[in-house]
Amino acid sequence: RPYTPKTNGKVERFVQTSLREWAYAHAYDTSDQRGQELPAFLFRYNWLRPHRGINGQTPISRLRLTEDNLLTLYS
């Protein structure tokens, strides 16, 4: 639920992680270059990166999607 301490903590953690692993992980020449890296970071964060708060699972695994469900994945 929005505006609850639990949700706010999750958002704050995401901001910390994105700053550390995307925004300031490399010395980018321009803001545009940094922006171009954002989709790759979000893919890694949601699909590949295990999260300790959910027992080492990836966030996308929590949705219980099947691999053949393209409409759900890409709509």
Query: Degrees (nearest 5) of the Cα angle 41, 42, 47?
Result: 105
**CB count in 10 Å sphere of residue 8:** 11
Tell me the CA end-to-end span of the chain in Å, nearest whole number. Answer: 24
Q: What is the pLDDT along the chain (75 residues), one digit of tens a residue?
A: 777 887 788 889 999 999 999 999 999 999 999 999 999 999 999 999 999 888 999 988 888 776 666 555 555
Entry pTM: 0.74
| Residue 68 to residue 5: CA distance in whole angstroms | 36
Q: Which amino acid, one-letter code, is at 26?
A: H
